[in-house]
Amino acid sequence: MPNEKNAVLALADYALERGLIEECERIWAVNVLLDALCCDALPDVTVPADAPLHVILDALCDDAHARGALTEDSVVYRDIFDTELMGRLTPRPAQVHARFEALRRQSPEKATDWYYAFSRDTNYIRRDRIAKDIQWKAPTEYGDLDITINLSKPEKDPRAIAAARNLPASDYPRCQLCAENEGYAGRVNHPARQNHRTVPITVNGSPWFLQYSPYVYYNEHCICFNREHVPMRIDRACFDKLLDFVSQFPHYFVGSNADLPIVGGSILAHDHFQGGRYTFPMEKAPVETPFVFPGFLDVDAGIVKWPMSALRLRCNDRTRLAQLAERVLDAWRGYTDESAMIYAETNGEAHNTITPIARMREGHYELDLVLRNNLTTPEHPLGLYHPHAEKHHIKKENIGLIEVMGLAVLPARLREELKAVADCLAAGGDLRESPLTEKHAFWAEDIRRRRTVSADNALEIVREETGLVFAGVLEDAGVYKRTAAGKAAFLRFLETV
């Protein structure tokens, strides 16, 4: 058909248009794709001439499955297969490094602009999936919070799970952050990364790598990670690294998850940070209670108006900032205040740590230090400073760096459940009848009592109320509550620094 094109040729042309290959490499590109497709000649599969990348790849996967080259037609196997196709067209690491460094010599912003576009063009960041995420802003007393229902991570595939049980144990790569992921073919229990390229950077004198998150929870969501597989640790060196990173990439913020279970991230075994070009709600929050630390009159400091217990430090000298941050951390690690339910340790287990975030603002270095504690109690076995049980219908998972800064990453199940709640509220139905709404019934019945809900505003109201639940989740995670007693307890700690 005149407006259609062979899918293999379309993929080679896409690579040419996006600068992944040169014109002189087009025939080679077609042939390496045929090899990956187990074809001796162009397969009889066409796509619209203007088809986006995911349509081209879907067509090639469908054809490969029909021919038996792709043995299982499920998302895990298709991802492994189409990643190999893109890997055949992705420039070698040395080429990527050279391009990044050449642009970085012009400006760090030009380098990251190119690298982010490159990571999308290679399909390492799957744009078609990211576009499915549902996002909105929810007004609260702390400003507008960001809410995302994450739909970009593929659902767990029962066939892949079953196949993974039969695989021999493997520690290669040791985790999904290790440098050994670059170019890795993948397996049913580890993602394929042939189209993945990292760039080496030096952070505070040590070798690290920079990459983007394949799930992109916010604009230019990057990850920088230690070349060595070493555990995360919040200490003076961590503060120095964060501040060094923003001095090199001043258009990005960077932060670290805490280094203890419950209050930390999902990967504590590999030292890494997350950053990007995005202004989080927490950054917009003002300092509501200034505080002067003796011996650090050159550092502006104060408690942030935020649901979690956050201290903001600001100075044009990053060494001084790191010195004070270290003082705060050391004091907090050993701090106990039984009247405020703050215990530095119980039965030999340490509880206190910090979630730090660094940025440049108006030519000054800025550090937000969020106080964390992972104490558990019989009433709150998942964590006293963790989402409490009455909010688990919305958010049960740990509150990591991204949530700390005001972006809720909510599970995919809520796409259907929140819509069902809204529909039921609008129709005046019984919220306890459907499995989609039953777990939300107590919350939704309260909404019904307080709000005037109609078919026109039901979903908007449910989303607003979801944002208020998330604000409550962050308050649960705050070690000092936003009460007179909580503020007094916070100031008591600061006086000990």
* Mean pLDDT of the region 256-260: 96
* Mean pLDDT of the region 130-139: 96
Strand boundaries in 277-363, DSSP class E: 287-290, 300-304, 310-315, 345-346, 349-350, 352-361
pLDDT score, position 168: 77
* pLDDT higher than threshold 60 for residue 218: yes
Q: pLDDT tens across 270-311, in order?
A: 999 999 999 999 999 999 999 999 999 999 999 999 999 999
pLDDT score, position 153: 73
Mean pLDDT taken over the chain = 96
Which segment of 105-119, 151-165, 226-240, 453-467 scores lowest on mean pLDDT?
A: 151-165
Q: pLDDT tens across 30-84, in order?
A: 999 999 999 999 999 999 999 999 999 999 999 999 999 999 999 999 999 999 9
Say which residues have a Cβ less than 8 Å from residue 328's Cβ, sequence separation at least 6: 311, 313, 354, 369, 497
* pLDDT higher than threshold 60 for residue 412: yes
* pLDDT higher than threshold 90 for residue 155: no
* pLDDT higher than threshold 60 for residue 319: yes
pLDDT score, position 152: 83
Q: What is the CA radius of gyration of the chain?
A: 25
**Whether the Cβ atoms of residue 336 and residue 342 lie closer than 8 Å to each other:** yes
The identity of residue 20, as a single letter, is L
pLDDT score, position 1: 56
Which segment of 153-157, 421-425, 436-440 scores lowest on mean pLDDT?
A: 153-157
Q: Which of 300, 478, 298, 264 is nearest to 387 (CA)?
A: 478
pLDDT score, position 233: 96
pLDDT score, position 171: 87
Eight-state DSSP code of residue 49: T
Say which residues have a Cβ less than 8 Å from residue 178's Cβ, sequence separation at least 6: 229, 270
Q: pLDDT tens across 384-396, in order?
A: 999 999 999 999 9
Q: How confident is the model at residue 265 (pLDDT cuts 50, 70, 90)?
A: confident
pLDDT score, position 156: 57
pLDDT score, position 194: 98
Q: How confident is the model at residue 142 (pLDDT cuts 50, 70, 90)?
A: very high
pLDDT score, position 163: 64
* pLDDT higher than threshold 70 for residue 340: yes
* Mean pLDDT of the region 465-478: 98
Q: How confident is the model at residue 160 (pLDDT cuts 50, 70, 90)?
A: low
Portion of the chain with pLDDT greater than 70, in percent: 97
